[in-house]
Structure 1
Amino acid sequence: MGKLLCDSATNSITEKLPQPLVTWRDPSTTIVDSVPSTSWDEVPGLEDQQRRNLSKLYDNGILWTHPQDRSVSPVVLQLIHGGNVNSDGNCLFSALEKLTHCGGARDLRSRAVKKFEQDLGLAENVQKQRVESVIKNLYSPDLDSGWGVHIVQEIKLLAKKSDRQIIDDAILYYANRGIIREIAAETIYKECCIAVDDGPSWAKYMSISGSPDHDEYDIITLQYTKDGLLTINENRDGRAAAFGDDIAIECLANEFKREIYVVQAHGSDADNCIFFLPHRPRGEITGLPLFLFMKGTGWCSAGADHYEPLIAHSSSVLSPEKVAFVL
């Protein structure tokens, strides 16, 4: 993670990557003008200093250098907000669909999951274990640790839609015998549902778009504090979608053979900093990066889980020496 701006500061991040030969698409052939743009003054929920800092992404531009092929000339990119997308849990895929025109958010979900399954199937055991450890920490965390960062931790479970009535009947059976309903529900959900703690369960989870008609599973969320169970979101209407995570972004970076940067803007709670969080494909890079915008609230982005598209225009007018950021 690189902190690239605190007010007027500019830093450079470089990273050594493998050097495969790539088929490069010239920036002048990259079409982004079909995506309607929005002035930062029109984007809600931003402080004045955030707007000024974000405006520099367009006014001064950012400098991007191909991380694999140094024969490709550096490119100055101007970034501008690409408009809102629905806050329905599909925002990552909706935002990328607006930038890539790849057939819809649900299709991008499917492509991310398919790419994940393909890559995991080819991975060495050590790499598989590393990926599945990340999944477990995200969705089935150890409730005996981790409280120094978050005051609330969540466990995600998957209930098969066709089993919901059986699960409800089991919960009611124990509740009618004097067991507190939340305790009965916690026990039954853990016994009858799939924990999201490995590759296959992540694929099932990330396939969920919040569609009662298309999804095979419903997401059940158990929330805990240090004192124990806080609440259960039983998702009765089946409309909860799996929020796109860093694993999904990396899968789509591999799918598109392009870097995907999450641009996270913080306000006065965090010194008005902007971060560029890179997700690089493991193989060749054949085009300019894609950019997503996330408003940060505090250092953990609490309450900021919403992606919006950022449009990147290549510029031959802006000076590479005077850009706001160097990636």
Structure 2
Amino acid sequence: MGKLLCDSPVAEKFQTQSSPSVSWIDPPPAAVDAIEAVDLVDHNELVATTMTWDTVLGLEDQQRRNLQRLHAKGVLWTRPEDDDSSSQQRSVVFKLSHGGEVSADGNCLFTASQKAMMGTSAREIDARDLRRRTVARFLQDFGSAKMEEKEAINRAIGNMYAPDLRNGWGVHVVQEVKLLARKEDRASLDSAIDELVHLGMQRELAAESIYKERCITVEDGPSWAKYMSISGSPEDEYDIVTLQYTEEGLLSIDENRYGHAAAFGDDIAIECLATEFKREIYVVQAHGSDAMVDEDNCVFFLPHRPRCQICEPPFFLFMKGTGWCGAGADHYEPLIAHPSSFVSSEKVAMVL
């Protein structure tokens, strides 16, 4: 609902896809202190929350086999900057199982993270509070960053949410521009659009003109913070408006009239979460045959490190990868990490 499709021959051919991933600045080397005993999960709750990989929907055989191997053999995590491989206390093997489905309502990064951190200090925090803390952490770190670092962050945000529509078409078929409309301005925006329509302008072009003129473009740190605060609830200050373009021009406008759209978590948000909880976050992508990768290489671990000292073990999130541009899907699911003692790096499925 609230979506305008342009009168274009390609309008029916394309669907929304997630924005390209752009990582924030690499963190400084962490001064890692001793990490306390690993107890990631409440095992009484695992029976009710975890799923065997046989029962997880939407997986191809090659994905399922690799994920079963991760659970059976585990992945080896060692404290960063610790080269003493003989120190068993500093290495932990995690056996990864699926933590159950989460709602695809735009808040999945935060919902999945809350489930993945079961048994830790984040247990009582809900998804909305995780979103709030993520934005607060970003604003604090962005505010204290040097000018050149702020400029790099602003460029990354602009590339994701306000791309240069003259470039990038060799990689992307559809590009999106994210705008923020203040909820209290909806009536005046509609009135201005109607005025242009009465003057003979097509509805979608009139809407594009007014939204671009009067709404906030997500193109820098302050606007990203406003955008990432949006959870799709009536309490949000802004609604997300999405302009979709092909190389031929405007494709569609998602006006989000009822304010249900939430800001999807991105790499910047994941790094802020990692920093807030002083732990690494690994996004595990399992690709199917459409990604044209062989079975031995169809699982990827994408690390997001905190911009501070690491004080707790990592947690893990899951994405069912797609073949589109070699990227992942836009839905996060929780992984539950079952810790076990270190035996040998040769016997695990993967060394992180």
State if a TM-score over 0.5 links the two structures.
Answer: yes
Name the residue aligned to 2:227: 205
Give the superposition deviation at 1:74: 1.4
Contact 1:68/1:285, CA 8 A, preserved across alignment: no
Give the superposition deviation at 1:149: 1.0
Name the residue aligned to 1:183: 205
Name the residue aligned to 1:12: none
Structure 2 stretches lacking a partner, 5+ long:
1-25, 118-122
Write out aligned runs for 1:267-306 (5 A).
Answer: 267-270=288-291, 271=293, 272=295, 273-300=298-325, 304-306=329-331
What amino acid does structure 2 have at the position aligned with 1:227?
Answer: E
Q: Is residue 253 of structure 2 the alignment partner of residue 258 of structure 1?
A: no
Name the residue aligned to 2:265: 244
Q: Is residue 75 of structure 2 the alignment partner of residue 62 of structure 1?
A: yes
Contact 2:69/2:349, CA 8 A, preserved across alignment: yes
**Percent of aligned positions that are identical:** 61
Range with greater deviation from structure 2 (223-232 or 101-110): 101-110
What are the Cα deviations for residues 194-246 of structure 1, in whole angstroms up to 9, with x where unaligned? Answer: 000011100000000001x2100000000000000000000011000000000
Give the superposition deviation at 1:99: 2.3
Contact 2:135/2:225, CA 8 A, preserved across alignment: yes
Tell me the distance in 1 between the aligned counterparts of 2:229 and 2:103: 18
What amino acid does structure 1 have at the position aligned with 2:270?
Answer: I
RMSD value over aligned CA atoms? 1.8
Cα distance change, pair 117–19 in 1 and its aligned pair in 2 (3 A): closer
Name the residue aligned to 1:80: 97
Write out aligned runs for 1:68-217 (5 A).
Answer: 68-70=81-83, 73-100=90-117, 101-211=123-233, 213-217=234-238
Tell me the distance in 2 between the aligned counterparts of 1:154 and 1:55: 36
Match of 2:333 among 278, 294, 308: 308
Range with greater deviation from structure 2 (172-181 or 151-160): 172-181
TM-score, normalization by structure 1 = 0.91
What amino acid does structure 1 have at the position aligned with 2:346?
Answer: E
Tell me the distance in 2 between the aligned counterparts of 1:17 and 1:322: 32
What amino acid does structure 2 have at the position aligned with 1:24?
Answer: I
Number of equivalences = 311
What amino acid does structure 2 have at the position aligned with 1:94?
Answer: T
Tell me the distance in 2 between the aligned counterparts of 1:91 and 1:315: 28
Give the superposition deviation at 1:317: 7.3
Q: Is residue 38 of structure 2 the alignment partner of residue 20 of structure 1?
A: no
Give the superposition deviation at 1:16: 11
Q: Is residue 52 of structure 2 the alignment partner of residue 31 of structure 1?
A: no
Tell me the distance in 1 between the aligned counterparts of 2:265 and 2:181: 19
Give the superposition deviation at 1:319: 4.1
Give the superposition deviation at 1:299: 4.8
Tell me the distance in 1 between the aligned counterparts of 2:137 and 2:82: 25
What are the Cα deviations for residues 78-136 of structure 1, in whole angstroms up to 9, with x where unaligned? Answer: 00100000000000000011123242110000000000000001100111111110000
Contact 2:30/2:310, CA 8 A, preserved across alignment: no
TM-score, normalization by structure 2 = 0.85
Name the residue aligned to 1:52: 65
Match of 2:247 among 211, 221, 226: 226
Name the residue aligned to 1:322: 347
Tell me the distance in 2 between the aligned counterparts of 1:268 and 1:155: 30
SS at structure 2 position matched to 1:262: strand
Cα distance change, pair 111–103 in 1 and its aligned pair in 2 (3 A): same
Cα distance change, pair 207–196 in 1 and its aligned pair in 2 (3 A): same
